[in-house]
Copies of this chain bind each other. A is one copy, B any other.
Amino acid sequence: MNRLREHIEAITPLTDEEFEYVKTFFTLRKVRKNQFLIHDGDEVKYEFLVLDGIYKVYYIDENGKEHILQFAKKDWWMSDYIGFFKQQNSKMFIECLKEGEVVSLTLEGRNKLAADLHKMDHFFRIKLTNGYIALQQRIMMLLSGTPQQRYEEFVRLYPDLISEVPKKYIAEYLGVSRETLSRLYSNTNK
């Protein structure tokens, strides 16, 4: 749980006593490759903070086509946040691409933590702010980003993932063909 404490304290310092209380809300989970943390149609009970490993958050549309919403690695949060915050069933899958560990938190736990500790309300607000900015950047990329810009944005967001995630998933995330991705990749690494 030290990594959880480091993660929170990057935003707000906690006393030992506060952290002892905070950590009672989190559950540590080991995750194997190809394991699902959230499955389309299930109740969304948890959000997850990644301590280790690589994960893919995606959904499948009415025509059976897969769309990747985000990847997640150390220090990223992930869930089907629409389902989580609205307490609806999931429209997403979260699949582990590289084994690791996460801690899970329920919405009830999140709300109680935020209500009990002003520091944690602050922590969640800052995290949401960063998440909001990332989503807005994603929207702008989808609306007007060239393949080159989308690729550069991906490298900026996930510098260590470009070699860790199968190319077909990166192409899917960027909304470009694998041929285009290969071209971008070789241009950038010249």
Contact = CB atoms under 8 A, between A and B. Distances in A.
Interface of A: 59, 61-62, 65, 67, 69, 81-82, 85-86, 114-115, 118, 121-122, 124-125, 128-129, 131-133, 135-140, 142-144, 175
A190 to B, nearest CB: 23
A61 B149 CA distance: 12
A136 B67 contact: no
Contacts of A128: 125, 128-129, 132
Contacts of A114: 122, 125
A136 B69 contact: yes
User: Which 5 A/B pairs are nearest by Cβ-Cβ distance?
Assistant: A135-B135, A61-B144, A128-B128, A67-B143, A125-B125
A87 to B, nearest CB: 12
Contact of A85 (B65, B115, B124, B129): B129
Contacts of A124: 125
21 contacts: A59-B140, A61-B143, A61-B144, A65-B144, A67-B140, A69-B136, A69-B140, A81-B132, A85-B132, A114-B125, A115-B122, A118-B118, A121-B121, A121-B125, A125-B128, A128-B128, A128-B129, A135-B135, A139-B139, A142-B143, A143-B175
A140 B124 CA distance: 23
A81 B61 CA distance: 29
A169 to B, nearest CB: 14
B81 A133 contact: yes
Contacts of A115: 122
Contact of A133 (B69, B82, B138): B82
A59 B136 CA distance: 12
B132 A132 contact: yes
